Amino acid sequence: MVVGVGSVLANAGPEGIYIAAGILLLFGGMFFLFYKLFFGPMILASRLRKTGLPGKATIKEVRDTGVTINNSPQVKLLLEIKNSFGQKYTTTVRTLVSRLQPFIYQPGMTIPVLIDPKDDKIVVIDTSGGRQSARPGTSLSDSSEASQLKDDLLKDQQRDDAIRLTGKAARAIVKKYTWLGININGNNPYAEIEVEVMPADAPAFSAKVKGAISEQSVSKYQPGEEIFVKYDAYDLAKVAIDHS
């Protein structure tokens, strides 16, 4: 850009200054926009991964910004932050979402964030979910450091399979959806879901379930949605998603 401006000023005569100003405005504006949308967030996220304070955020609102980068739409999230001291406040963050997972962020979800220690209004989504061994977007089988986590998931799966085999079926209303920062077998998020279980012949009760959710089905497990579960009638803490 500098060479081009210098060449115009040297050879375009009196009109060169106007052409050079136009070049500066055009390319300078493009660079600023590209930095604002791409490089700036990358630099901020890289810095906060090293210095940021961990916290939890509840999504209050999701807005489409109208910006798309590499076919991935950008959304603006209104977050209620809870920092490590238990303090709550609201702020906003912009982030890209995969076109394959347009509903990955929904109101009511709890997500991990990193907070700038110099300005608690500046946050980025902690895509590691606090688990450096299994980053979102990678299969657990691709992470050599995830063996313990895989063992835990296997135990959870075996317990849930037992509940599905002998448990009683019931409807349930989703109260809270929390992505646990892990994707399984591609882009399928592993999540904890708080539900209100409503048996046909017994009083309703609250419970938590964990499981891998198909990326196409994430919207079906958001607060207010009805799902089906199976539960142990002798231990109401044992509940599993009934995928059938």
- Phi (first) and psi of residue 86, to 5 degrees: 85, 5
Contact 187/215 with Cβ under 8 angstroms?
Answer: yes
| pLDDT for 199 | 94
| pLDDT for 7 | 72
Q: Report the b/e string of 195-231 with b at 16+ CB within 10 A.
A: bebebeeeeebebebbbbbebeebeebbeeeebebbb
| pLDDT for 139 | 44
| pLDDT for 168 | 93
Contact 97/73 with Cβ under 8 angstroms?
Answer: yes
The label of the residue with tokens 């296997």 reads 154
Q: What is the pLDDT along the chain (244 residues), one digit of tens a residue?
A: 677 667 766 666 666 676 767 767 777 777 776 666 566 667 777 788 788 888 888 999 999 888 887 777 888 999 998 766 667 889 998 888 877 677 788 888 888 888 887 888 888 888 765 443 333 444 444 444 456 666 777 788 888 888 988 899 999 999 998 887 677 777 788 888 999 999 999 999 999 998 888 878 888 898 999 999 999 999 999 999 987 6
Tokens of 126: 């902690």
Contact 69/43 with Cβ under 8 angstroms?
Answer: no
| pLDDT for 79 | 93
List % helix, strand, coil for the chain (3-state, nearest 5): 30, 40, 25
pTM for the full model?
0.48
| pLDDT for 12 | 62
Assign 79 to helix, strand or coil: strand
CA dist., res. 102 & res. 85, Å (int): 32
